[in-house]
Copies of this chain bind each other. A is one copy, B any other.
Amino acid sequence: MNKIDQQNIQVGEIANGLPLTIPVYRLKGDGSGKSVYIQANMHGAEVQGNAVIYQLLEQLKNLGLRGDITLVPYANPIGCNQKSGEFTLGRFDPITGVNWNRLYHYNPELVRRFAGQSDSLSDQELRDAFKAALVEEVEQRLNGPQHALTTGKRIALNLQRLAHQADIVLDLHTGPISAKHLYCPEYARASARYFNIEHVLLIPNEFDGAMDEAAFCPWWQLQTQLKRQGRDFEVAIEAYTVELGSQERIDLTEALEDAQSILSYLNYQGVFVDAPYQPKNMQRHACYLKDYVAYYAPMGGMIEYLAGLGEHLKAGDAFARILRMERYLSEEPLHTLRFDQDAIAILHFASASVNQGTELYKFFTNTFDL
């Protein structure tokens, strides 16, 4: 049985001076394989990842490990604990409105610098030096003047410091009410088949502040830059946002399924000495990010969500109804919403009552098999 270490790292302080800490669990591999970083619950209501980390630990403690594994539940101690009414208000900083998952660091200058200096380095040397530089960038900010860091930035940088040290990064999220889906960088699409996740979103090489992007963008940008200079350099990192289903829900049985999906991917990546995990035989639907379409409420009202999670709609199918009881006499009180393309309903809003302009559904369109 593997030894598991726990370290509680401090990532902030609240107003009454109590420290904000995050538990970090670590298992050591024999050094012959890729290292792994997995975090959960960066958004406060997205709790199921903690259960998945529980189930992963239950499995990992009995496996032969080639690479080191780091697991971080409760990654955001402010978000986890921010209630407003019964629900967890943990998608953004309650003070500033900033999405907690848009605060990771990326310095394009670093890529330019390495692309300019790489000639003398072997691929392995370049990888090692670049990885060290990424970690150092983050540490410099963490160790710089404390008055230059926002609350969210300090949390994000602490996590990013851990993530940059790994070869594989998984950020466990959920949608509001959602089917499982995977955010996968386009270059890693072949790997997406090793997760047991039916819906795969292929994302381009653009940094928008999220953890997965912070992990892979520098590497992908470096590859692109070196390619232009005539050198083939493989992206050394894979990073994914794994959307586990719906928020505000713990299901340990489902979590075991999701743990097995992740273990299947890690097994494919050679993280384990000898492990049985294999991907399920299933159809995987892919969609480019540009074809991932949000549908906003065309009027205010009460929504009956008709399209099920993962449901395949034909153009013109009804997917929701809006009830407007203040207009029972003056106009039709029930409006049926239809989408004008073939689509897969991936997620919908968590509440039945919406303002005009609230995001109701998100759809995969122009899908294809992976």
A: residues with CB less than 8 A from B are 4, 6, 8, 12-18, 20-21, 23, 25, 41, 44-45, 47, 50-51, 53-54, 57, 73-74, 77-78, 80-89, 91-99, 145-154, 176, 248-252, 295-304, 321, 323-330, 333-334, 337, 349-360
Q: Kindly list chain B residues whose C-beta atoms are within 8 Å of the C-beta of A73.
A: 325-326
Q: Is the CB of A328 within 8 A of B25?
A: yes
Q: Is the CB of B77 within 8 A of A18?
A: yes
Shortest distance in angstroms between A351's beta carbon and chain B's nearest beta carbon? 5
Provide the bound-state CA to CA distance between A82 and B14, in Å: 10
Q: Is the CB of A16 within 8 A of B81?
A: yes
Q: Is the CB of B353 within 8 A of A88?
A: yes
Shortest distance in angstroms between A79's beta carbon and chain B's nearest beta carbon? 9
Q: Is the CB of B54 within 8 A of A83?
A: no
Known contacts A83-B95, A149-B357, A353-B47; is A251 also within 8 Å of B16 by CB? no
Known contacts A47-B352, A250-B323, A357-B153; is A15 also within 8 Å of B302 by CB? yes
Provide the bound-state CA to CA distance between A97 and B90, in Å: 10
What 3 pairs across the A-B complex have the smallest Cβ distances?
A151-B357, A92-B97, A13-B300
Q: Kindly list chain B residues whose C-beta atoms are within 8 Å of the C-beta of A357.
A: 12, 149-154
Shortest distance in angstroms between A253's beta carbon and chain B's nearest beta carbon? 9
Q: Is the CB of B354 within 8 A of A15?
A: yes
Provide the bound-state CA to CA distance between A357 and B208, in Å: 21
Shortest distance in angstroms between A304's beta carbon and chain B's nearest beta carbon? 4
**CB pairs A–B below 8 angstroms (16 shown):** A12-B356, A13-B301, A15-B88, A15-B301, A17-B74, A86-B95, A86-B176, A88-B353, A95-B358, A145-B298, A147-B296, A151-B355, A248-B353, A249-B352, A250-B321, A252-B323
Q: Is the CB of A351 within 8 A of B45?
A: yes
Q: Is the CB of B326 within 8 A of A358?
A: no
Provide the bound-state CA to CA distance between A327 and B29, in Å: 23
Provide the bound-state CA to CA distance between A6 and B91, in Å: 37
Q: Is the CB of A149 within 8 A of B296?
A: yes
Known contacts A73-B326, A353-B248, A357-B151; is A300 also within 8 Å of B98 by CB? no
Shortest distance in angstroms between A280's beta carbon and chain B's nearest beta carbon? 24
Q: Kindly list chain B residues whose C-beta atoms are within 8 Å of the C-beta of A17.
A: 74, 299-301, 324-327
Kindly report which residue of chain B lies nearest to residue A13, judged by CB atoms: B300
Q: Which of A20, A323, A337, A359 has the most CB of B within 10 A?
A: A323
Q: Which of A18, A91, A146 has the most CB of B within 10 A?
A: A18
Kindly report which residue of chain B lies nearest to residue A357, judged by CB atoms: B151
Q: Is the CB of B97 within 8 A of A250?
A: no
Sample of 14 further A-B pairs with CB below 8 A, known A17-B74, A47-B352, A97-B97 = A18-B18, A18-B326, A51-B304, A73-B325, A147-B296, A149-B357, A150-B357, A150-B358, A150-B359, A151-B355, A153-B357, A248-B350, A250-B352, A252-B321
